[in-house]
Amino acid sequence: MRAWLALLIVPLAAAAQTPGTDGDYGSRDRPGEAKVALPEYPRPENYLPFEVSAVTPFAFFVDSKSISVGPGAVLRYTLIAKSADGALNISYESMRCTDGNFRVYAYGSVGDSWFEVRNSKWELIRSDRRNPQRAVLFNDYFCPLTGYVSNAADAVRVLKSGGGPRGAIGGN
């Protein structure tokens, strides 16, 4: 009986010591990066569309009011994916132009509110068929080879211009 009890208690004790399981969101940023404050929930009138692919079943947008650019070429923005039937997937995230990584801080939730991601971490932006939107934002809009956007107004301008060569920027 004690062996069975030990098998139950040890995993529970380990889970209790895992960072982020007790309300602590863990080390969300590198030293020196500012704590992330979630933006106002996005409104359709502030959606800026961007082209991902002619074959994707979603339309993609960035909320113009949520864009910010911080030290180290870290861009924060709200990403909206809208299905053909109108369903929305909304996330508040960031990307680093210096190393091609992204992280998600929160997802849109019922009642136009945010649900924070526990243990958010930086991940490599990958160009794959399932989630091409971040790679397109990175390569064609926010962090092209011509330089990254240096402020929110630059990011809005590049999104409105359609990215690519028309949205070329003279960033850093």
pLDDT per position as a tens digit, 138-164: 999 999 887 889 999 999 999 999 876
Residue ranges of the alpha helices (H) in 60-117?
A: none
Residue 164 is predicted with a pLDDT of: 60
Contact 139, 159 (CB under 8 A): no
Low-confidence ranges of the chain (pLDDT < 50): 1-28, 31-33, 165-168, 170-172
- Cα–Cα dist 28/35, whole Å: 8
Nearest CA-CA partner of 19 in 106, 105, 119, 120: 119
Is residue 51 one of the residues assigned to a domain? Answer: yes
106: containing domain = 36-167
Is residue 29 one of the residues assigned to a domain? Answer: no
Residue 54 is predicted with a pLDDT of: 78
Residues whose CB is less than 8 angstroms from the CB of residue 155 and which lie 6 or more positions away in sequence, other chains included: 62, 67, 69, 75, 77, 141, 142, 149
Is residue 8 one of the residues assigned to a domain? Answer: no
Is residue 4 one of the residues assigned to a domain? Answer: no
CA distances from 12 to 6, 16, 18, 45 (A): 10, 6, 10, 47
Residue 59 is predicted with a pLDDT of: 95
Domain count, the chain: 1
65: left (phi over 0), alpha (psi -120 to 50) or beta: alpha
CATH code, domain carrying 129? 2.40.128
Residue 35 is predicted with a pLDDT of: 65
Is residue 109 one of the residues assigned to a domain? Answer: yes
